[in-house]
Chains A and B, each alone.
Chain A
Amino acid sequence: MTGTVKRVPSIWTTGSTDILNTGTWRTAIAVHEHRPAPCYGVCPVDGDIPVWVQQIRNEKFKEAWQTLVENNPIPAAIGRTCHRPCEGACNRTEYDGAVSINALEQYVGDMAIREGWEFPAPSDELDQKVAVIGGGPAGLSCAYQLRRKGVQVTIFDANPELGGVLRYGVPEFRLPKKMVAAETKRIVDLGIEVVTGRKLTGEDLGELDQGYSAIFIAFGAHEPKRLPQFSKDDSRVLDGITFLRSVRLDAPMELGRKVLVVGGGSVAMDVAGSALRLARQVEILALEGREVMPAPEDEIEDVIEEGAILNDGAMVKAVEDLSGTLLLHCIKVELDQDVPPGVIRPIEIAGTEFTLEADTVILAVGQDPELVDWEGRVQVARGMVEVDNDYRTSRVGIFAAGDVASSERFVATAVGDGKRAANSIVRYLGQKIVVEEGFADEAKEVAIDDINTFYFPTQEPGERDKVAVEIRKFGFDEIRLGLTDAQAFDQSKRCFSCGSCIECDNCSIFCPDMAIIKDSDAPLYYKVLEQYCKGCGCCLEECPRGAMGVKEETK
């Protein structure tokens, strides 16, 4: 051929469909959301648990600790003593068993102590001073939160050392003193003035008013409740917290050979465990049935393994003095369900009478705050300092929380209350508080139905290993061994991360329209391309952890 070659111009494909806005088809669009997990919803300190568990999974341990201590400055202690409502609420509970959140908290808390991690110094220093009365969980938590905001804080405590119930109540086999010492020191090192060995009373208020802009009362509850069946001045009848304190001070009170512990809470179990370690025969008498006893099941299990005999659902009717020993006339009871919350009314079951013999009886049926010299200075109701939702007492500038102001007697609750009270105090001091990034009011808690379980093969739950009973019952060494690195990693992998994106890319991978792209500027890692999204919802369905929601669109 000669001449020029004519090229026929292409009449077909000339462009890409990406100029077509298929986004106009939809009526709803999926959005990435950080939604609250059920563990967060019940956490006494409002901890965003999936976030720090994910940091453990990513081996960002220090970040995990920093997330934890936003809300709780004593994770090694709370990681051993929390009543862990989170594990009860965990979406994994019904799937294959809850994530061992408490054990993970201890893991990170212990690591922080081992590694010597410190809190950063406050960025501002304020002139205002706050007096914190009581260096237990609530007081420490409040002092810490105030101090990190720059407030000048003095903690007054009647005991020689800080820690409160953690130091003088919870026994060594549950919470070693050195952990409490390390965590309290770290808080004090933020620059907190500490006055120990001084028990402040209501009469000291005048002095405090002079020097401090606000006062926080958190000295706990130390007045043991008594039972009318027992004589007040019988040396064979002891009270639980005084006994535990004596054990903590390495000068245990004298016990007879046969010990009967009355009570069904954590204190009763701690008393029983301590008495067992002092080589006594121990029986426990609890008003509630085992399933509804206030003590966590594992604490009950521990003492039974160690040889305590549990008589649950029963009470003492009368006490007979058999010159030397006490003979207790008991009866099985069931609890009246038809009572207002907080009230316990046992109903005797006829014909179930039995007797127990004891050389020593230890009552662990609760404590009341000692408020004699506070009454008249702040409003007291139902044996506690009365506070409003912002932890304000009846007297301006005085705040209270913890056992002194709450009937919810959990250490973790005290830590949470201390934190919230600190926020209230900061507001009172006229300081702006940086509002924590919480969840929007309309944010819906992630339920198990929001979890795509295909992505979570069942995996056995794993708790801390326990020291063999034949070894542990002869000493006060800690019962539970912390998680090993491998155990902690396995546990962290079990977390669904309900409502918290972990950048798994599923939303992007399952989009038939390529309408979700990774975007480092997006607040939640991804951007939905509105011009293309047809609103099918595959991303939402394939998100393993409920970290997406739907936004209806009206045109």
Chain B
Amino acid sequence: MGYEINEEKVFSSGHAACPGCSEALAIRFVLNTLGRDAIAVVPPSCIAIISGPQPLSSMGIPVYQTTLEASAASAAGIKRALVSKGNDHTNVVAIAGDGGTYDIGFQALSAAAERNEDIIYICLDNEGYMNTGSQKSSATPSMAFTTSTPAGKLSPKKNVPEIMVAHNIPYMATATIGYPDDLARKVKRAMEIKGGLRFINILTPCLTGWGVPDSAGPKTSRLAVQSGIYPLYEVENGEFYTLNYGPNGLSVADYVTTQKRYRHLSLENIELIQAEVDHDWARLQKKF
């Protein structure tokens, strides 16, 4: 009984993430699965804060802090340099937020995917620019409050997982911290598939930005899955879809009512989101 997760202790205590931070938990399972033969690339973000104040690091592996738009390009460059030096074993992993992935780093990511660079790209998706005080990103979902969408965002979340699938990369997966064994397994799977860009989108509820208690990260992420908002699935070579965890009967209302970023919603608003979720789920289901 309980989760079976093999961890190599790479990620250290003493980091500066907020109490209960989902992102720290995600980094834990990413790094502790990757092991020490890895180099990380991190753009400006909470992840950069968590990686440590110089001269200290929580990450236990070499970390290159690059510019916000260049995570994928930097990772690709490091990997190519390693290979040209005869090192074909070290994994290079870019770990960026949704701002650095969905918005600012997107051209570099798309280009790296098009060239099928041999890197692992992890997006820690907390649905906004949470490090700078909760502004909207293109990962912010419909009607969610951020400081730059005070009445709720008017457009739906950009579907980056499907965009990455459309690049026909060898591996794309969605994961979240409420299913840590599934998350660790997907990192492991990404490591096994070498020779191309492997992308994992990890939903990491931001406790302050979303307005949930410090203890509610895993639970909130599970509600996202159980209500059908964030199905967990993986796709190999742009075609082979596998569903891991889908909706189990909970509704959007079960999800949004626990978060302050949705507290302005009317019942009609919730129904609109529900319709959007139902539509997306119906479309996704056809692919399995």
For chain A residues 260-297, which have a beta carbon within 8 Å of chain B? none
**Chain B residues in 8 Å Cβ range of A17:** 12-16, 52-53, 56-58
**Segment at the interface with B among A82-90, A143-151, A174-182, A532-540:** A532-540
**Chain B residues in 8 Å Cβ range of A454:** 219, 222
Report if A513-B180 is in contact (Cβ < 8 Å); known contacts: A15-B56, A19-B56, A540-B215: no
A510 touches B25 (CB 8 A): yes
A504 touches B25 (CB 8 A): no
- In the bound assembly, the distance between CA atoms of A141 and B21 in angstroms comes to 53
**Segment at the interface with B among A21-29, A119-127, A432-440:** A21-29
**Chain B residues in 8 Å Cβ range of A529:** 13
- B217 interface residue per 8 A CB criterion: yes
- In the bound assembly, the distance between CA atoms of A536 and B207 in angstroms comes to 10
**Chain B residues in 8 Å Cβ range of A513:** 13-15, 17, 24
Q: How far is the CB of B207 from chain A (nearest CB, A)?
A: 8
- In the bound assembly, the distance between CA atoms of A532 and B19 in angstroms comes to 10
B218 touches A22 (CB 8 A): no
A538 touches B215 (CB 8 A): yes
Report if A536-B215 is in contact (Cβ < 8 Å); known contacts: A17-B14, A19-B14, A514-B13: yes
- B11 interface residue per 8 A CB criterion: yes
Report if A16-B12 is in contact (Cβ < 8 Å); known contacts: A509-B5, A536-B20, A541-B215: yes
B216 touches A541 (CB 8 A): yes
For chain B residues 60-95, which have a beta carbon within 8 Å of chain A? 60, 62-63
The secondary structure that dominates the B interface is: loop
- A18 interface residue per 8 A CB criterion: yes
B14 touches A20 (CB 8 A): yes
For chain A residues 449-482, which have a beta carbon within 8 Å of chain B? 452, 454
- B54 interface residue per 8 A CB criterion: yes
- In the bound assembly, the distance between CA atoms of A326 and B42 in angstroms comes to 94
**Chain A residues in 8 Å Cβ range of B217:** 512, 538
Report if A514-B56 is in contact (Cβ < 8 Å); known contacts: A509-B5, A536-B20: no
- In the bound assembly, the distance between CA atoms of A513 and B106 in angstroms comes to 30
A22 touches B215 (CB 8 A): no
Contact residue range for chain B? 35 or more
- A312 interface residue per 8 A CB criterion: no
The secondary structure that dominates the A interface is: loop
**Chain A residues in 8 Å Cβ range of B213:** 537
B2 touches A503 (CB 8 A): yes
- A13 interface residue per 8 A CB criterion: yes
Nearest CB in chain A to that of B64: its residue? A12
B15 touches A509 (CB 8 A): no
Nearest CB in chain B to that of A14: its residue? B55
**Chain B residues in 8 Å Cβ range of A542:** 218-219
- In the bound assembly, the distance between CA atoms of A17 and B13 in angstroms comes to 6
- In the bound assembly, the distance between CA atoms of A532 and B2 in angstroms comes to 24
**Chain A residues in 8 Å Cβ range of B1:** 502, 504
- Pick the residue among B18, B53, B214 that contacts A537 (CB under 8 A): B214
For chain A residues 509-547, which have a beta carbon within 8 Å of chain B? 509-515, 529, 531-532, 534-538, 540-542
- In the bound assembly, the distance between CA atoms of A195 and B213 in angstroms comes to 66
- A325 interface residue per 8 A CB criterion: no
**Chain A residues in 8 Å Cβ range of B198:** none
Q: How far is the CB of A56 from chain B (nearest CB, A)?
A: 13
**Chain A residues in 8 Å Cβ range of B14:** 16-22, 513, 532
- In the bound assembly, the distance between CA atoms of A535 and B19 in angstroms comes to 7
Report if A512-B21 is in contact (Cβ < 8 Å); known contacts: A19-B14, A21-B14, A22-B15: yes
- A506 interface residue per 8 A CB criterion: yes
B63 touches A13 (CB 8 A): yes
Nearest CB in chain B to that of A540: its residue? B215
A505 touches B12 (CB 8 A): no
Q: How far is the CB of A2 from chain B (nearest CB, A)?
A: 23
B19 touches A534 (CB 8 A): yes
- B176 interface residue per 8 A CB criterion: no
- Pick the residue among B12, B53, B180 that contacts A510 (CB under 8 A): B180
Q: Can you list, as one digit per residue, whether each of B27-50 has a CB less than 8 Å from chain A (1) or not (0)?
A: 010000000000000000000000
- B22 interface residue per 8 A CB criterion: yes
Closest 10 CB pairs of A and B: A536-B20, A504-B2, A537-B215, A17-B14, A534-B19, A20-B14, A512-B24, A536-B19, A532-B13, A541-B215
Task: State the B residues within 8 Å of A (CB).
Answer: 1-3, 5, 9, 11-22, 24-25, 28, 52-58, 60, 62-63, 180, 213-219, 222
6 chain-A/chain-B pairs, Cβ below 8 angstroms? A12-B55, A13-B56, A504-B3, A509-B5, A514-B28, A541-B216
Extra pairs beyond A505-B2, A513-B17 (17, CB < 8 Å): A13-B57, A14-B55, A16-B12, A17-B13, A19-B56, A22-B16, A454-B219, A504-B1, A505-B3, A506-B2, A506-B3, A509-B180, A512-B21, A513-B14, A514-B11, A537-B213, A538-B215
